[in-house]
Amino acid sequence: MKRLGAFLLRVLQTALLLASIAVALLAFTQLFPALTLRAGLTTYAMEFTARLPGWLALWGVLPAPTGGVFRTDLFVVALAALVASDVARRVAKGLK
């Protein structure tokens, strides 16, 4: 049973890590408006923002020297997913 729990936690850890990378890349593309428009990521960013809690959505949107915006709300979500991924990895390691 411990092995199954460890395996499921590793799957969760991998999913959280991939989500963290995806959100960080989405936040990075917001720094460059031409890249965001060319890749068509504006709608994805707005859809993602709509699913965030009200107190976090569009919190800390700062202008960037590149003409885009620095989205601290997306970086907070990416960091939280990365921390949760690390916690899941450590717990899974302890179950082995």
**Global confidence as pTM:** 0.86
Q: Are 45 and 22 spatial neighbours (Cβ–Cβ below 8 Å)?
A: no
pLDDT by position in tens, the chain (length 96): 888 999 999 999 999 999 999 999 999 999 999 988 888 888 888 899 999 898 988 888 999 999 999 999 999 999 999 999 999 999 999 887
70, two tokens: 């620095």
Which residues have CB under 8 Å from 6's CB, separation 6+? 92, 93, 95, 96
- The residues spanned by each domain of the chain are 2-95
Q: What is the CA angle 56-53-75, rounded to 5?
A: 40
Q: How far apart are CA 75 and CA 59, in angstroms?
A: 11
The CB density around residue 35, as the number of other CB atoms within 10 Å, is 14
